[in-house]
Amino acid sequence: MTPVLAQGPDTVVAATKRAGVRQVLPSMTPKLASGLIIAGLVILFGVIGPLVVGDPNAIGDVGLSGPSGTHILGTTQTGQDVFSQLAYATRGSLIIGFIVGVLAMFFSAFFGIVGAYVGGFLDDLFSLFTNVMLVIPGLPLVIVMSSYVQQKSIYLIAGVLAVTSWAGGARVLRSVTLSLRNRDYVAAAKLSGERTWRIMLVEILPNLVPVMASQFVFAIIFAILGEAGLSFLGLGASGALTWGTMLFYAQNGLALRLGAWWWFIPPGLLIAVFGAALSLINFSIDEIINPKLRDQTRSARKRWTLSEEQLKRVSVEDVP
Amino acid sequence: MRFYVQKLMFYVVALWAALTLNFFIPRWLPGNPVDILIAKLSAKGAVTAATRHALELLLGANSQEPLWKQYLEYLGNLAHGDLGVSVTYFPQTVAQTIAQTLPWTVALIGIATVISFIVGVGLGQLAGWKRGSWLDNAIPVTTMLQAVPYFWLALILLYVFGSLLPWFPLNGGYDVYGATPGFNLDFIGSTIYYGTLPALTIVISSIGGWMLGMRNMMVSTLSEDYILTAEAKGLKPRRIMTAYAARNAMLPSLSGFAISLGFVVAGSIVTEAVFSYPGIGSALLEAVQNNDYALMQGIFLFITLSVLGANLLVDLLYAFIDPRTRSRS
Amino acid sequence: MHSSNRSQRPSAGFVFVTALVGAVLVLTGCTAGSSSSSSSGSSMTVFNGATGTVAENFNPFTPTALQPTFGVIYETLFYYNLTSSEAKPAPQIATDYKWNTDGTQMTVTTRAGVKWSDGTPFSAADVAYTINLINKVPALNTNGINATAQATGPDTVVLQFASTSFVQEANILGNQPIVPEHIWKNIADPTTNINKNPIGTGPYTLKSFDPQSYVLAKNTKYWSSGQPKIDTVRYIALSNADAASAALIAGKVDWMSSYFPGLKQLIGSHKNLAYVNTPANTTELQACTNVSLGCTGAQTDVAVRQAIFYAVDRTQLNNLAESGFGSVGSPTLLLPDRDKSWISDPKNVTSPAKADVAKSESILQAAGYTKGSDGIYEKNGQRVSVTVQVISGYSDYISAVSTMTSELKAAGIELKESQVSVNESSANVTNGNYELSIANFGASVSTNPYYMYWQNYDSSGTAPVGQPSKGDGARYVNPVVDAALKAAAATNDPAVQKQQYALIQTEIVRDMPYISLFVTPTLTEFNTTNVTNWPTNENTYAFPASWKNWDNGIVLRQLEPRK
């Protein structure tokens, strides 16, 4: 509950806006910094990599060989350069992740926020649709949808993954919007004659940004992992190069069993590293949504620069 | 009362929507089960036009009936519990195939999910309570484990612990060489042994989520007034942690747990593919690859029913445990 | 003041997990020891390609019956060895057969002294019953046998055909399992009965069944005395090549036929593992050739197909895609070694081993194609760009296609890949919705080329694009070939047939509706620790693949336990 009720509606809007922006940006902690740096490096590799490496599909008579001077990460079974493939695969997976993130965010925002704010029949309808989409089993639906189209491209896979993943986020956004709708400053804005879409955009949306950002990041992780799982089952965009399809070929080529770790480990490792970086970013977003998470963590305590004695006293006082 | 009626109405609608989708989706798959069976057979022996004709007669694949008639028949059959005959496992019925494979999946994934939930929530509870302890560092680590692609981790663990250091078996649900299925110690022990590595991989990859969710809820709950009151009353910290804080913090995790139980079947496909585990997920994969409409529909139906059932249970349970939800709507 | 509570009892969850771990360790200790089989006697384990769960079905008339039904439990009258160039079949439960002059009547002499596994004597009446049963119930007639039969004596049965039917010989003698009359006449619905207790003449009978593995036991009444020698055979299911390779190396499986890239490396250090390579099929690029039936694309021009044929480097393809296990095939789609006697023109015995880019380009240029600015040939604005469909699980074919893409690019032809599922692939080929498809053909029952040529080149099976074809997926229509096939079917004389095949080969080598690539390897892996007398490259007494119907019985009865 903000104590600014006493002031007029204009000041309410202004105050929320200014405080909103500063409030939304996270403070730079080591966790956030490392997350951003790692994610940034991976994205850079995916964007610039394909422009500098060689042809990922060029076969060579050398066959399966380990890291060497000419091939930094060795070659696949048909003599293709693993490092080049990795660069293109990074780009492919990032494209899928980004598309799914944006689409899922858009769908969940539309079905969650609009319905909840407008209320009435529209809310019931959207809520029903969201809940039905939520209970339809995702993976089997993805399997069936993706085997329907002949030439499976990464865009098709991204679309299919987006369609099956927005429902959860919509539900969360709906419940948050419902609670926000009843806040006093929204009532004040309505009373002062603001148009519905303006209220949604200016009052409600800024408060939802942290939640939506967290969902966006989650959706990216989900999309990349989902695409990897689909490709492993042989149902993904096996003609395109993504981390998932690289793992599919490595698995089919019995890479692990033949000891070709350079083919099997890097794609999975990149998924893990990128996902971990995104999780770290998500943590920081969590801390915005729930500031109590920020305090009292071990790393936070280190910054208090208390002495041993003082630290012990604090610990005893608040923890059994 | 009105609340419960509303909920049930929703579930009826959701069930109908799922059943209809279930009917149509397999039919949208390209290809014809007879063609696929013939393609498989041609690798093993002679395949002639007569073979194709005989197969079509056998499998009844050429249905000339209009779609809406098939749909009504389908709904009627469902009401009788007749799920049809599987093409892949002909002449075994779909119900038989599901009955054969479902217990393995439910046992393995179900138990693994339960363990993951209990351990995850327990650790999350401790992490939320004991701020500043080492558990705070465990949270990012376990959450990052969730970002690891599941099958990649499972394959590596299988290679390391199945082939390099042969501590665990490589494939299967039980020791086919030694134990005979039945209610005997050998068989039960064997199933536990064979299920350990798959269950372990599931626990490792999903525990982070439970921990994180529980910890965040604990931290929110701990700032509530009634916790302060309880402390002021002089209650033992352990009691506050479990009876007051955890009990309230666990609500979202509980609903998440029930929902994840509903997705046990859908989530088993990759696990069973990696460990050659004879469950319903691998049956689904075979069904998709063979255009086996009946089997696909049967398994989808099961997944949908279990998810719907879990959701319904959660909604009712939630309304029961947390009266605020009842009054709010 | 509450510091004493620091040493708190562990939470309930923790206790539960520790208890569970402890229980697992204890139980594994118990069960790990009892992994030896409870039954005495020699045993072996076979993996025949079964994935996932196993459905019980030993009905030899259904195509989904478990594979040992065909050959290990039930047998055929004769046996065709696909690895030998000997076209005549070996006697099994029949010893002799004779046609009348116009091919409308076949007399079969059955072997004396054969017993069913329940002790009842086998006789010609059972053969007659089987033939008449499939004639009466068309759904059971997967071999397309069109005959009625009558037993004229205890070991003679006469089959009557409506018209000249020499071509049915291989299916009747080598592909039709014979069932006991005294059991099957009492079965109400032979189309859906799963035949839980199969009674056959084969070397093994069913001992126990479980959805994850089933066990066969030696048939003590088997007609070949002294065989089989191995007491029990167990079949298991494994979900993918990785699981199969792990099981092989761990010594859990004695016999399997999986293609492993890098097989030599895999079993290199294991002295007791061996493999044998018995090629049976030819991999080729199937083309949708016929414009008048609706095919579209650059491959409808025979010049393009021939250009592709010469531009491919088969040695490199073999090395990269098949790890060197394949070999150069023949444009006649027959095997250069085994089928040499059926190939009339010595020039057509083998395809070129290396790429001949010059020849490929000259063929295109002679047909009026010119090289475009991007290095790809074109004519009348249409570029020579073809799409080839590959099944997405077939890693060797995927490697082959990516190799060919590079090779063809050097010759000015663009090859694009389309990965599809098994469903889509077979649907596309059946309906003609493809340009090129990488396919795998070979002799199925007998090595006589008639069957393969008829199935793939005879225009009676084809259909316009968009409608399902029964055969001839390439939509190839050639009256010369059709007439030659008819003539070959009308006779029993190999010399006459060879003349007709010569005519066919001239046509198909020129027109190339199927562009021959290489001979597909069939790798079979053995574990020689407990079992010996496997087929070897020098002595392939049977086609050794563990998934091969009929040969599986021949191999199993020859195997001996290692002392």
Helix (H, G, I), strand (E, B) or coil at A70: coil
Check CB contact of A318 with chain C, cutoff 8 Å.
no
The phi and psi torsions of B161 (rounded to 5 degrees) equal -95, -5
Question: Which tokens hold the place of A227?
Answer: 């695409």
Angle at the Cα of C233 from the Cα atoms of C228 and C238, rounded to 5 degrees: 145
CB A90 within 8 A of CB A270: yes
Mean pLDDT of B44-52: 63
The phi and psi torsions of C86 (rounded to 5 degrees) equal -70, 120
Question: Angle between the A82-109 and A154-163 helix axes, to the nearest 10 degrees?
Answer: 30
Q: Which residue has the higher pLDDT, B40 or C331?
A: C331
Prior bond of B91 cis (ω within 30°): yes
Tens digits of per-residue pLDDT, C372-390? Answer: 888 899 998 889 999 999 8
Nearest to A25 by CA among A210, A176, A156: A210
User: Which DSSP string do the residues of C50-68 spell out, in sequence order?
Assistant: --S-------TTSTTS-GG
Question: Which tokens hold the place of C456?
Answer: 């793939």
Mean pLDDT of B231-252: 82
Mean pLDDT of chain B: 79
Residues of C in contact with A74 (CB under 8 A): none
Helix (H, G, I), strand (E, B) or coil at C232: strand
Confidence of residue C36 (pLDDT cuts 50, 70, 90): very low
Residues of C in contact with A77 (CB under 8 A): 261-262, 320, 399
Q: Which residue has the higher pLDDT, B170 or C19?
A: B170
Chains A, B: CB contacts under 8 A, how many?
A: 156
Do the Cβ atoms of C393 and A150 come within 8 Å?
Answer: no
Q: Report pLDDT for B163.
A: 83
Check CB contact of C403 with chain A, cutoff 8 Å.
yes
Question: Chains near B, with 3+ CB pairs < 8 A?
Answer: A, C
Residue C245 to residue B217: CA distance in whole angstroms: 47
Q: List the beta bridge partners of residue C74.
A: C70
C157 pLDDT exceeds 50? yes
C9 pLDDT exceeds 50? no
Confidence of residue C107 (pLDDT cuts 50, 70, 90): very high
Q: Report pLDDT for C12.
A: 47
Tens digits of per-residue pLDDT, A166-193? Answer: 888 888 888 788 777 777 888 888 888 8
Return the top range by mean pLDDT from A256-260, B179-183, C98-102: C98-102
Helix (H, G, I), strand (E, B) or coil at C104: coil
Residue B101 to residue B86: CA distance in whole angstroms: 14
CB C395 within 8 A of CB A252: yes
> Cα A140 to the chain's mean position, in Å?
22
Edge-to-edge strands of the sheet including C156-161? C94-99, C105-110, C156-161, C147-153
Residues of C in contact with A258 (CB under 8 A): 261-262, 265-266
Task: Determine the residue type at C201.
Answer: T
Residues of C in contact with B97 (CB under 8 A): 53, 55
Tens digits of per-residue pLDDT, C179-228? Answer: 999 999 999 888 888 899 999 999 999 999 988 889 999 999 999 988 89
Mean pLDDT of B241-255: 79
DSSP summary character for residue B280: H
Return the top range by mean pLDDT from A8-12, B275-279, C287-291: C287-291
Check CB contact of A303 with chain B, cutoff 8 Å.
no
Q: Report pLDDT for A146.
A: 63
Residues of A in contact with C260 (CB under 8 A): 254
User: Which DSSP string do the residues of C166-209 spell out, in sequence order?
Assistant: GGGHHHHHHS-----HHHHTT-S-TTT---SS---SSSEEEEEE
Mutate to test the interface with B, among C1, C11, C39, C257 (most CBs of B within 10 A): C11
> Cα B237 to the chain's mean position, in Å?
37
CB C77 within 8 A of CB C169: no
Q: Report pLDDT for C435.
A: 94
Question: Chains near C, with 3+ CB pairs < 8 A?
Answer: A, B
Return the top range by mean pLDDT from A126-130, B182-186, C331-335: C331-335
Residues of A in contact with B266 (CB under 8 A): 137-140
Q: Which helix (H) or strand (E) holds A266?
A: helix A261-289
CB C246 within 8 A of CB B171: yes
Question: Which tokens hold the place of B307?
Answer: 């998810």
Do the Cβ atoms of A254 and C319 come within 8 Å?
Answer: no
Mean pLDDT of chain C: 86
Check CB contact of B234 with chain A, cutoff 8 Å.
no
Nearest to C473 by CA among C427, C430, C516, C425: C430
Q: Which residue has the higher pLDDT, B313 or C29?
A: B313
Residue A133 to residue A193: CA distance in whole angstroms: 36
Residue % of chain C over a pLDDT of 70: 93
Residues of B in contact with A227 (CB under 8 A): none
DSSP summary character for residue C350: S
Task: Give the count of beta carbons closer than 10 Å to the beta carbon of residue B327.
Answer: 8
Name the closest residue on chain A to residue B273, using Cα atoms: A233
Q: Which residue has the higher pLDDT, B49 or C253?
A: C253
> Cα A89 to the chain's mean position, in Å?
18
Torsion over CA: B242, B244, B246, B252 (sign): positive
Question: Which tokens hold the place of B291?
Answer: 């255009």
Confidence of residue B147 (pLDDT cuts 50, 70, 90): confident
Question: Which tokens hold the place of C462?
Answer: 């084809």
Task: Give the count of beta carbons closer than 10 Å to the beta carbon of residue A28.
Answer: 10
Do the Cβ atoms of B149 and A229 come within 8 Å?
Answer: yes
Q: Report pLDDT for B80.
A: 81
Do the Cβ atoms of C424 and A61 come within 8 Å?
Answer: no
Residues of B in contact with A137 (CB under 8 A): 263, 265-266, 300, 303-304, 307
Q: Which residue has the higher pLDDT, B301 or B50?
A: B301
Confidence of residue C114 (pLDDT cuts 50, 70, 90): very high
Q: Which positions of chain A have pLDDT values less than 50?
A: 1-19, 317-320
Q: Report pLDDT for C19.
A: 54
Q: Which residue is listed with tokens 């075979």?
A: B286
Radius of gyration of chain A (CA): 24
Check CB contact of C242 with chain A, cutoff 8 Å.
yes
Nearest to C105 by CA among C77, C143, C147: C147
Check CB contact of B127 with chain A, cutoff 8 Å.
no
Tens digits of per-residue pLDDT, C295-311? Answer: 999 999 999 999 999 99
CB A289 within 8 A of CB A215: no
Tens digits of per-residue pLDDT, C235-251? Answer: 998 888 888 888 898 88
Radius of gyration of chain B (CA): 24
Which residues have CB under 8 Å from B302's CB, separation 6+? B98, B102, B265, B280
Q: Model's pTM, two decimal places?
A: 0.82
Check CB contact of A74 with chain C, cutoff 8 Å.
no
Residue B243 to residue C237: CA distance in whole angstroms: 49
Task: Give the count of beta carbons closer than 10 Å to the beta carbon of residue C72.
Answer: 30
Task: Determine the residue type at A240.
Answer: A
Residue B175 to residue B160: CA distance in whole angstroms: 20
Q: Report pLDDT for B29.
A: 63
Residue A172 to residue A117: CA distance in whole angstroms: 13
Interface confidence, given as ipTM, is 0.79
Mean pLDDT of C394-408: 87
Angle at the Cα of A154 from the Cα atoms of A150 and A155, rounded to 5 degrees: 90
Tens digits of per-residue pLDDT, C263-275? Answer: 888 888 888 899 9
Residue C62 to residue C159: CA distance in whole angstroms: 23
Prior bond of B237 cis (ω within 30°): no
Q: Report pLDDT for B140.
A: 75
Confidence of residue B231 (pLDDT cuts 50, 70, 90): confident
B324 pLDDT exceeds 80? no
Q: Report pLDDT for A184.
A: 81
Task: Give the count of beta carbons closer than 10 Å to the beta carbon of residue C249.
Answer: 19
Q: Report pLDDT for C34.
A: 38
Residue A250 to residue A262: CA distance in whole angstroms: 10
Angle at the Cα of A88 from the Cα atoms of A82 and A90, rounded to 5 degrees: 95
What distance in Å separates residue C67's CA from the closest CA in chain B? Answer: 10
Tell me the residue length of chain B.
Answer: 329
Do the Cβ atoms of B144 and A301 come within 8 Å?
Answer: no
Lowest mean pLDDT of B137-151, C10-24, C443-457, name the range.
Answer: C10-24
Do the Cβ atoms of B48 and C55 come within 8 Å?
Answer: no
Question: Which tokens hold the place of A278?
Answer: 């995104």
Torsion over CA: B102, B103, B107, B108 (sign): negative
Q: List the beta bridge partners of residue C232.
A: C43, C217
Q: Report pLDDT for A206.
A: 78
Residues of C in contact with B196 (CB under 8 A): 24, 28
Question: Angle between the B264-275 and B293-321 helix axes, to the nearest 10 degrees?
Answer: 130
Tens digits of per-residue pLDDT, A44-81? Answer: 999 999 888 888 877 777 778 888 888 888 888 878 88
